[in-house]
Structure formats: C-alpha cells, structure tokens
Structure 1
Amino acid sequence: MFARPAIAYIAQTFPALTQTFVYRETLALEQQGFDIVTCAIWRPAHSQLSQESEHLIARSAYVFPISWPRFLAVHLYFLLTRPGRYLGTLFFVLTRRGESARNRLRTLFHFCEAVYLAPEIKRRNVEHVHAHFAINAATIALVLARLLGISFSFTAHNIFFSDRILLSAKVREARFIVAISRFSKQFLLRLVPGVGIADKIHVIHCGLSPTDFAPASRPRNDVPRILFVAQLTERKGAPILVQACRVLAERGVAFRCIIVGDGPQRPLVEQLIEQCGLQERIELAGALPQEQLRECLARADLFALPCITAHDGD
C-alpha cells in the first residue's frame, strides 16, 4: 500500500520528445520530496525518447495498448461500487453547453480513458491530479477528480485556437490553473470570466536549468551557424526561416542553417529548400534527443524561431 498522498500527472504522451518541460517538471517535484505518479494516454515510441527520460516509461501507467477485459471490469466496478459518481460524472461532462457533437464524442472517449486509469490513481493514494495542456489530458483530470472525489489542476499552454473542449467547466472546477505567461492568463480570463477565477490562475513561466545548456566556450565556426529547434508545424514558421536564408544567400552572406525537428510541414520545408537552391546551406536534422540537441546549441552562433499565428488561430 501507498500511505503517503501522491500527485498524479496526466499527459497525452509521456515522456514526449517535444514536451520535455512536462517530464522535467515531474522530476523536479520529486527532487523536492513529492511522490509523483505519471500517467498518459499513449506510450512513446522508443525512437522518440531521450536517455534522460527512458526510465520514466517503466513507472508510468498508460491507457494504450488497452486490455479490453480489464477495461470492461474497471468500468463495471465503478458503475456498481460508485454509481452516483460514475453516472453523475458522465452526465456532467456530456451535458455542458456549447459543445459540438464531435466534442461530446471525444469527451466520452476521454471519460472511458479516465475510468480505465482510475484504479492506478486510487491504488497510489493520489489526492491531486495535474494535467499539462487544457485539452485531452485536462478532460481526463476533470473526470478523475469528480469520479474519485479528489482535486485537479492543469497548465494551460495553448488556449489560443479553436479546440477549447470543456474549457469553461475545467476552469471553474479546477483547484488552480497554471498560465505560462501574463498574456495567457488575461486571454483565459476573457474566455472564462467570473468571480474568483483570476485568483486561481497563477503565472508560472516555462523554464529550464541554465547549466544544462550553457556552452563551455563561444563556438568557433568557419561560417555563422543558425539553429532552429521546433516541431515543423505552421505556427513555428520554418518556411519563413528558409525564405530569410534565401535573402541572406542572395546578399552573399556566408552561413549554415540547421533545422532540428519534424512534423507535417517537413515536405513543404524540403520543397522550399530545393526551390531556393539552399541544399548546401540548410540541413534538415530531423527530431533529435536532448543529448544531441545540447551539442547543436553549443555549436550555434544564432538561434532563430520565427513563430506566426496559424490559420486555425494556433
């Protein structure tokens, strides 16, 4: 049995190569003496892990791959032993105003996933659940909190686009909310106004340990080295960087650009590099683990991240 109360962290995928801030936060809390239980919907592929996070898989609980006999048994258990909480929670999340039929169906799936994780949450004596991102994981945290009679919170990283499923209910039900900037807090308050809401939204900026990334000395490159690190999605602006590199090349500026990351815009970025004739100047390194990323940062003269607002508002 686990006597000491624990905190559960819920994520879409854990540990995720593009969300190092999540697993580093859990490790930092453990260093402060907290008992942390990590759960996720999906288990990451081994190729998407850094060495510093590999050990976290063995101690985390996952929904998928799902055991259907266990799935049915768990739902039947809570329906029979806690019918009021089970049915009440299901009714609550499926009847919020303003949600589309698609979002209600998604919510039903997340309800099922949350109940599937509930025995582990209960077994580990979890008294509080925290989710990163206000979408899928936060829905699971909300369901777990109502089902098990515990509290929950979430970090609202990205609330600027249209996928705001159950956002009002999450804000009002959460014990507290973490916003990663003052702008995020104000944006969230405009979306979900109300008495006392501002008091429970705390601004905590994303950060990292400077000693992990501070170079030992200034890099000595034959030509300036530009580094880009991000997912290749519209909002990160990699095509803009390629166009900027074309301007540099046309002006006779010597440089080398390393693009680290992968994503849906990779074919577009590859096409632009070829169209601009920059195959010898720009390298697409793909997604890299943290160990290799530190080397890239140490060798770079300039870091570029030309973010934009995507067409969907993201």
Structure 2
Amino acid sequence: MKIAYVTVQLPYGPQESFIIPEIREVQRQGNDVIVLPLRPGEKIFHAEAEFLRKVSDDTRLFSVGVLREFVTELFLHPLKAARVVANIVRKSKNVRILLKNLIVVPRGFYFARLVKRCRIDHIHAHWASTPSTAAYIASFLSGIPWSFTAHRWDIAENNMLDEKVRTASFGRTIDAPGRREIIDATGADARDGNVITIHMGVGIPGQLPLPSIAKDSFSFLCPANFVAKKGHSYLIKAVRIAVDKGLDIHGDFAGDGPLEDGLKKLVESLQLDGRIRFLGRLGHDKLLEMYGGGAVDAVILPSIVTSDGEKEGIPVALMEAMAYGIPVISTDTGGIPELLNGAGAVIPQKDSAALADAIERMAKDGSYRDTLRKLGRDRVLRDFNLCTNVEMLIGRMREN
C-alpha cells in the first residue's frame, strides 16, 4: 500500500517527533510512504527522522512549483476546484479559520497532483486542523480516499470537523475523550465506526534499564515544552515543598517555549537553581538514550486544563517512559487517566502539595516504584504497542 502522510512540518523542525515511530512502523509492515509537510524546511532536528528526508516533499508553500501545479489543476478541473474552495468558505466557522484554510489551498491542489503522479492509495493527515484541510482538498480533487488523526487542541478548534468526518474514510482520535468530543461537535453517529480511537503507540524496548534509585538523591525528568497546559510552575513549587520536607531531589526540564524565561525566574526566586536544570529541547533519540541508560528515576508531567480549555491528549512522553519501566506521575486531565489507569501516580491538576506528596512517596517507597515500573510497562505493552496499533490503522486504510 502507498500512503501519503500530511504533516505540519515533519520531518523538518523539532515538532511532531511522536509521528516518526509510527511512519517507521508503517514502512516496516511493508507499506510505501511519502511525507507531505505543509511547511517544509531544510534542517532535520531529530536524527532519527533522517530516513524520511528521501521520501519527503520539500517544495515550499508559495514556491513556483506549487503555484504552477495550482494553476494547472485549476485549469484542468475548474468546476471541482471551485466546489472545493466554496466548501471551505462555507464550512469554515470564522474568519480566522477561513484564512488559515485558504492559505493552504494552493498546497492542497499541489498535493492532489502529486499523489496522483505517485499512485498513492491513501492520504492520511496528522492533525484535524490545516494538515487535514490540505488532505481534504487533495482527496476531493484526486478521488483518493483520505483519513485523519485528531489529537486534542485541533479538536477544540473545530476546523471544518463536520465536513472532514463526512468525507474522510475515517477520523482517528488518540483517546476516548477526543472521540466523544468529535461526535458531540459533529453529530456523527457513534455506532457507524467512522470516528474511531486508535492510540498512538510506542516501541517496546527489549531490555529495561536497571532501577536507578540506588543513590541518595531522587532525579526526575519533565519532557515538555514550556506552554501553559504543561503546568511546569506547579512542579517547580512542588519541588520547593519536597525540599523543605527534607527530600534530596533534582530535576531536569527538557523543552523550550514562550514561558521559559518566566519559569527560570520562578526557579531562581524559590532558590532552586541547583536543583532544577533547563536542558533545552532534546532530540527524541537523546531522550530515549536517557531512559535506556537508567538516568531517570521518574518522569513527571504536571499537565493542566488552561483557561481557554486547552488540555492534553495522551502524552507520548508518558507512554515512552512507561515502556522503559520508568514510573510516572501526572494529573487527572485530558486523556492521561486513560493511559495511567492504575499504572502511574495520578494527582489533581494545579495541586503542588499533592504533587510533592506523590514525589515523596515515589522517592521513598521502593516497592511502590517497582510496582509502577511493572504495571506501566505492561499497560503500554497491552494497549499502546506501536506494532499492534499501526496494524489497526493500516487495516482501516485498507478497508477503504
């Protein structure tokens, strides 16, 4: 089967690293893949994405090549072209979303001609936002079936969700709450199987790192960009509480983002400079190297629901840690309880005191850590196994 993956920028840039293992597994299972980023670049940030360079389109959004194919498609199929643009104008719920969609129209026309030339069997977009708009256009013009994966914020945005659910072979969500949100937003029949949940999966390492808490200090990793929904400030305050209770604790923040300077000031004001390090954004391979090397006692993700309703799906960072037998602590937001479900420590969001208590128990109770190591790995192996979940995804594509 030949599949075109539409992304925002992958394999270029630092985002969307969680899609890399999925595409690799799709290929391993005997399928050909091309990657069509909306905003291609030159630099591949994650070393493990290098294999995608030769199968990725690097034609710029407003390049001569894109504009030439756009005009050609417009000339050859004027009625179809007019219909799909009219659909976008009619279905975009506000001016902001309409403008976002119109910007990718030439790219969608370009993709339509490209997937026909490459004899693609199925188009799949990650994100229910503009990548799926481009995939929708390409499918409409080419007649090739398409589908999309919706994550979390892109569901809340509701960029033509009803039209996309209606025309796609299927819409995939990464967690059950996301599926309910799409069904509620579009009025889709929950029984027809057009909106399905297939979790993002992770690879399962064959050999676990040895438990690393044989030292006096407890070390954690928080692998998350510095944006509001990640809740870093609550973790920083929890570290202060834990230190005041006599716990020797050190933590690393791996990521970047707009809140970084403010978080560094908070660390300084709470006199935690020697206990919390900012590592910057790590390549995915470097992150897994830390997990496999036994350098991390626990992974902590203090996620919250923001004032505008943004929340987590099921964070791949937690899945990966659990696959490596690393105990995790997170909050009762988004799809996180669906993942942890007794296999990790779940605390109320925005509660630094409860987070400090969870850290203290994790650091002091060896049998508790060992239990979570086993339960977490078993949970991922059963329900978030990359191989199994990609088989299900490809199976749905083949049905259509």
Structure 2 Cα separation of the partners of residues 139 and 160 of structure 1: 12
CA distance in 1, matches of 2:154, 2:142: 31
Q: Runs of 4+ in structure 1 displaced over 6 angstroms?
A: none
Q: Distance in 1 between matches of 2:33 and 2:228?
A: 34
Instruction: Return the alpha-carbon distance in structure 2 between the equivalents of residues 282 and 196 of structure 1.
Output: 46
- Deviation sequence 1:45-100 (CA, Å, 0-9, x none): 63x622211231232013426423x233212211121112111111111112x611
The correspondence for 1:304, drawn from 300, 306, 317, is 300
Q: Residue by residue, what CA displacement relative to the aligned partner does 1:131-186 show, whole Å, maximum 9, x if unpaired?
A: 11111111111111101111111011114764221111111111101111122111
10-19 vs 86-95, which deviates more? 10-19
1:1-314 equivalences in 2 (<5 Å): 6-15=2-11, 17-44=14-41, 46=43, 49-64=45-60, 66-68=62-64, 70-96=65-91, 99-159=93-153, 162-195=156-189, 198-211=192-205, 215-219=208-212, 220-297=214-291, 298-314=294-310
Aligned-partner SS, 1:55: helix
Q: CA deviation at 1:308?
A: 0.3
* Mean Cα deviation higher: 18-27 or 178-187: 18-27
Deviates more, 1:21-30 or 1:158-167: 158-167
What is the identity, as a one-letter code, of the residue corresponding to 1:216?
P
Change (3 A) 1:50 1:101: closer
Q: Normalised by the size of structure 1, how large is the TM-score? A: 0.91
CA deviations over 1:185-242 (Å, ceiling 9, x no partner): 1121111113467511221112211207x64312244411011111111111111111
Distance 2:54 2:9 in 1: 14
Amino acid at match of 2:52: L
Q: 1 CA distance for matches of 2:190 and 2:179?
A: 13
Q: Distance in 2 between matches of 1:127 and 1:93?
A: 24
For residue 44 of structure 1, report the CA deviation from its aligned partner.
4.8
SS in 2 for 1:299: coil
In 2, Cα distance between equivalents of 1:262 and 1:8? 30
CA distance in 2, matches of 1:197, 1:18: 34
* Cα distance in structure 1, aligned partners of 2:188 and 2:49: 39
Partners of 2:129 and 2:154 within 8 A in 1: no
2:36 partner SS = strand
TM-score (norm 2): 0.72
The residue number in structure 1 matching 2:318 is none
Q: Is contact 2:22-2:201 (8 Å) kept?
A: no
Root mean square deviation, CA, Å: 2.0
Change (3 A) 1:127 1:279: same
Read off the aligned partner of 1:264 and give its amino acid letter: P
Q: Deviations 1:79-128 (Å, cap 9, x if unpaired)?
A: 121112111111111112x6112222221111122112333222111131
Q: Do 2:38 and 2:61's aligned partners in 1 also have CA atoms closer than 8 Å?
A: no
**1:61 is paired with a residue of what secondary structure?**
coil
CA distance in 1, matches of 2:261, 2:88: 39
Q: Tell me: CA distance 1:232–1:45, structure 2 relative to 1, closer, same or farther (3 Å).
A: farther
Name the stretch that deviates more: 236-245 or 153-162.
153-162
- Gaps of at least 5 residues in structure 1 are none
Per-residue CA deviation, residues 265-294 of structure 1 (Å, 9 max, x unaligned), is 111211110111100000001111122212
**Counterparts in 2 of 1:65 and 1:179: CA distance versus 1, 3 Å:** closer
- The runs of 5 or more residues in structure 2 that have no matched partner are 311-400
Number of residue equivalences: 306
Q: For 1:22, give the aligned amino acid.
A: I
Paired residue type of 2:211: R
